[in-house]
Structure 1
Amino acid sequence: MTSPNPPTGPSPARRMRLPFHWLGILPFAIFVLLFLIMPTMKIVIGAFQRPDGSFTFSNIGNLFTPSILAAYGISIRISLASAFFGCLIGFGTAAAVVLGGLPRAIRGPLMTFSGVASNFAGVPLAFAFLATLGPVGFITVFLQSELGINLRMLGFNLLSFWGLTLTYLFFQIPLMILIITPALDGLKKEWREAASILGATNAQYWRMVALPILTPSILGTFALLFANAFGAVATAIALTGSSLSIVPILLFAQIRGDVLGDPHLGYALAFGMIVVTGIANTVYIWLRARSERWMR
């Protein structure tokens, strides 16, 4: 005996229905494809090509010359220094606002400023620091004329390792505040109350409870800040020009098209930067996932 209503497959209209819920992400996917994936693939392919298009490892081998290794060393040290001080100052600021009992009215303006300042870079940032702390900057001239303090005589030079590190801190500190604030909000009051009931002091609570929980977030943010500083190009070029030999400046010199430039060596330099920042971002994502499991 057969069923009066035998099962049928999906109707043609249902089979041909388009997944309209994916259309919202389509502009973003196109943007990522055109301005991230395709340029990255061009860099990766160009790093392994000669000018005639043939395959070679010579461009990668040239990265191990003393001058280029020195440039990578300086870039890594600047990134480490700016990431360390950015984490230190940013964590202290965020902890003071979230846990330090400061007025809640301070948090809104601080987070708004951090959102703007973390994206303020490039030529405008370089000009702002030159106008403030440059050789004839406002603060430099004021200290020398009014207080008799000569920053140059004290060893400070904006167009140097520490000058560039100080400039990077303008966007590193706000980025740390933005990322670590949710982690600080995730510290449950019950944990502090339980520690107090068991007789723990405030220092013991931070050393044995809060900091172990926050460590993945702090280390992950440190890795992100390192990648953020290592990949900063426009600020370094606009601020120091050719006075500081770091990877972004060498890269700019190779691809700008003068007679001494080697675009494929520039691709190799960029490929090396992609590898370094990719490792740092991978560490950040892994540590961020670990910290989110703690905060659930």
Structure 2
Amino acid sequence: MDFSLVALEYYRLKDLVGRYLSTEAGKFALDDLAPIADEQKLESEHAITAEAISYLREHRVPFQDIALLGQVLEKLSVEGVMLEIPEIEAIQVFLAQVEGLRVRWKEDREKFPKLAQTGQRLPDLRELGKHLGRAIQNGEVDDKYSPELARIRRALSAARSRLTEKLERIVRSPAYSPQLQEQIITIRNGRFVIPIRTEQKRSVDGIIHGSSSSGATVFMEPLAVLEMNNELVRLQDEERVEIARIADGSHSSQHGATAACVLAFSVHRAGLRESAFRPRFQLCEPGLFPGLAAQPD
């Protein structure tokens, strides 16, 4: 630990600044913050902070903590990773916020030239946002966006109906009555199963996928529906792959969700931090910008 920083209560100051952070990304940025020794860089940081303070006095910066965004950025470090719908929705929210700020800084470039310069470094994300918005509606990928997805979902619906109808005949059959705990169909480990009395499990041909907390019931997949369950799982995998393909813009690295996340991450690191904790802290804890003197020879 640098004892000069301790003497200056630098770490206590960071703790105080941290009270004004509203996002996890901001907290990480604060953790990485270190004193600046370069005079020119320090003057530049002071200038943009002063401008951001003026901006915040007149405008509300829309950034809020976006659930899953940090998780998404971590997943993108793994090649070939597929994002879930809620994760893609987190990207959509972030892109909308970034785009809104970029446009406002451009409109106010005469009054806030340094922020406008920061905005110029931000990529235009409108088409990317529109692409994701067309593909995802109300938490689901719209199958109208993809004939292949529509085909898969029709096949899924038919396969699920055949499977549940077969299991309903089984649970209603007098032959299974002694073995059944209840006449219901449930799901374990992604497979449709029926509840069998534990003491009767050897009298039913099937695969056990778990048991009840009491141990009185095992959840069994009868061999009679094994291939039907396999078909359902295969179609579900196809659906996930097609959804990922749509979200990734037909495998286009320039227009896909993966590219969106990478851009969002670079955007945050490149320019948005200037409008975050420092000016907000300054507004709530008024102080003066220090004058910078040249080092003596």
TM band (smaller chain): under 0.3
> Which structure is higher in RCO with an 8 Å CA cutoff and minimum separation 6?
1
- Higher helix proportion: 1
Q: Indicate the structure (1 or 2) with the bigger Cα radius of gyration.
A: 2
**TM-score normalised over the length of structure 2:** 0.27
**TM-score normalised over the length of structure 1:** 0.27
